[in-house]
């Protein structure tokens, strides 16, 4: 028997779909959760750039410590008000020199709004601006033996409570304390 427009075909249990109201409620819940997630990532991730800067600094110093051991010569880190650079001691000329053609150790400027404070033996050492006539001298020494003069560098972003602390230990290792880490 054929079913016509006026006849209904029995289909078993009634198939039920979602109502428009149920779909709207789910969309509102997803939108609220997405907004909360974006706000929390924005708040927590606001200092991702500062975290990247700490990682870069740690990588540069670790590479310089290793290179000092491999080459058997002393290296050092010179801190200026707006950045830092790695220097090598040239024994034949009896002075500290920038490493020519080495992008890893060239002067690196801190990002806008980032300030660094250097502490040696518990005393804050003001960064030394480069002078035209005077040679650069590093404040932190990375010896060819693998030893390092102990120091603490604190990086802060102006207008933020975020504080990253990098501690250079005498054995050449670095300890990094990020915001939220227990002291």
Superfamily of domain 47-177: minor pseudopilin epsh domain (3.55.40.10)
End-to-end CA, the chain: 83
For residue 27 the two structure tokens come to 């969309």
* Cα Rg of the chain (Å, integer): 29
What are the structural domain ranges in the chain?
47-177
pLDDT digits over 23-62, tens only?
A: 888 888 988 888 877 765 554 554 678 888 899 999 999 9
- Four-residue CA torsion sign, 176, 49, 46, 118: positive
Pairwise CA distance, residues 67 & 64, whole Å: 5
Low pLDDT (below 50) residues in the chain: 43, 46
């Amino acid at each position: 028997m054929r079913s016509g427009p006026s006849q209904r075909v029995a289909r078993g249990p009634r198939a039920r779909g979602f109502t428009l109201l149920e779909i709207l409620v789910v969309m509102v819940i997803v939108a609220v959760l997405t907004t909360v997630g974006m706000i929390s990532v924005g708040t927590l991730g606001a200092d991702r750039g500062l975290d990247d800067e700490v990682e870069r600094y740690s990588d540069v110093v670790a590479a310089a410590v290793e290179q000092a051991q491999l080459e058997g010569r002393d290296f050092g880190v010179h801190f200026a008000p707006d950045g830092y650079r790695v220097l090598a001691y040239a024994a034949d000329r009896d002075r500290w020199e920038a490493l020519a053609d080495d992008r890893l150790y060239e002067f690196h400027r801190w990002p806008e709004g980032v300030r660094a404070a250097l502490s040696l033996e518990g005393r804050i050492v003001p960064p030394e601006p480069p002078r035209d006539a005077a040679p650069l001298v590093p404040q932190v020494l990375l010896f060819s033996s693998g030893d390092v003069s102990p120091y603490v560098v604190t990086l802060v972003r102006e207008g933020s409570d975020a504080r990253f602390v990098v501690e250079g230990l005498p054995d050449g290792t670095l300890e990094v304390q990020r915001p939220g880490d227990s002291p």
